[in-house]
């Protein structure tokens, strides 16, 4: 089974209603009260049961995709968004043991819930952080221990909230468009195995609410 995020306006993987991200107001109101939600459609691809020659066909690929999950995004407060995100992430990750797969969907869910500029993971490999699953523009692939915001969060073993990246000594600018940042260490059995890094194009995007929720989210990845 291969699961992937697919924005439906990108052929050949059209979404249920022709738009992968869409506003929803009727059916979801029953479940989420008056909160309007945005849906991002996920698909499950049951490819292995078909021969390779068949799987290469564009027609096959556009028709055999089966929708597995939907990401619902509350448009209310930051807390409401995180709360709904957390519940969905818990459910989605419950059956998956692969670390990269978990990080990949976690990055996508966080990224599209808030529309951040860059959301992704760096994984500890020796004395470096190596780029892991992410959503957003191309990024630096390796960061040394203690370098930049990511390497410093790893070294200090704590979440770093940076309201203005230009004021952070040694900040690594993978993109000049990034203005503020939060980095949350990922723990496994008392050891840091990576960091979650989120960049925003606005100053002061992240605060203690983001820190608390992201630490809670990271604990289930």
- Binding part of the chain for ligand SME, among 23-31, 53-61, 77-85, 171-179 by CB under 6 A, reads 171-179
Point out the residue whose Cβ comes nearest to ligand SME. 148
Burial of 34 (C-beta count, 10 Å sphere; 0-12/13-18/19+): exposed
Q: How far is the CB of 138 from ligand SME (least distance, A)?
A: 9
172 binds ligand SME, rule: CB under 6 A: yes
Residue-wise over 69-107: b if at least 16 C-beta within 10 A, else e?
A: bbbbbbebeeeebbebbbebbeebbeeeeebeebbbbbb
Question: Looking at beta carbons only, is 88 or 201 nearer to ligand SME?
Answer: 201
**Closer to ligand SME at the Cβ: 84 or 221?**
221
CA–CA distance, 153 with 162 (Å, rounded to integer): 11
Closest CA to 110 of 17, 210, 194: 210
Q: Tell the residue number behind the tokens 């979404």, with chain if given.
A: 15
**Would you count residue 171 as binding ligand SME (CB under 6 A)?**
yes
The SS3 assignment for 127 reads coil
- Concatenated DSSP letters of 44-76: EE--TTS-HHHHT-HHHHHHH-EEEEEEEEE-S
Residue environment code for 123-138, b if the CB has 16+ CB neighbours within 10 A, otherwise e: bbeeebbebbbbbbee
Nearer to ligand SME, 41 or 152 (CB): 152
Q: Binding-site residue total for ligand SME (CB under 6 A)?
A: 14
In the list 14, 133, 148, 185, the residue contacting ligand SME (rule: CB under 6 A) is 148
Report the site for ligand SME in 128-147 (rule: CB under 6 A).
Answer: 139-140, 143
Q: With binding defined as CB under 6 A, does residue 149 bind ligand SME?
A: yes
- Between residues 69 and 128, which has the closer beta carbon with respect to ligand SME? 128
Pattern 87-126, binding to ligand SME, x per CB under 6 A? Answer: -------------------------------x--------
Q: Which positions touch ligand SME (CB under 6 A)?
A: 118, 139-140, 143, 148-150, 171-172, 174, 178, 181, 197, 199
């Amino acid at each position: 089974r291969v699961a992937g995020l697919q924005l439906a306006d990108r052929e050949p993987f059209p979404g249920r209603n022709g738009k992968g991200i869409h506003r929803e107001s009727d059916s979801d109101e029953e479940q989420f009260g008056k909160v309007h939600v945005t849906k991002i459609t996920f698909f499950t691809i049951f490819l292995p049961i078909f021969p390779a020659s068949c799987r290469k066909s564009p027609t096959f690929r556009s028709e055999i995709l089966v929708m597995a999950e939907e990401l619902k995004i509350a448009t209310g407060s930051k807390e409401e968004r995180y709360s709904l995100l957390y519940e969905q992430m818990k459910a989605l990750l419950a059956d998956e043991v692969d670390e990269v797969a978990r990080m990949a969907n976690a990055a996508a869910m966080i990224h599209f819930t808030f529309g951040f500029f860059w959301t992704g993971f760096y994984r500890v490999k020796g004395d470096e952080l190596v780029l892991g699953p992410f959503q957003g523009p191309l990024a630096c692939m390796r960061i040394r221990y203690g370098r930049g915001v990511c390497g410093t969060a790893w070294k200090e073993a704590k979440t770093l909230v940076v309201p203005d990246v230009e004021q952070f000594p040694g900040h690594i600018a993978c993109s000049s468009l990034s203005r503020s940042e939060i980095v949350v260490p990922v723990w496994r059995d008392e050891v840091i195995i990576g960091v979650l890094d989120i960049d925003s194009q606005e100053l002061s995007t992240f605060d203690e609410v983001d820190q608390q929720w992201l630490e809670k989210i990271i604990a289930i990845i």
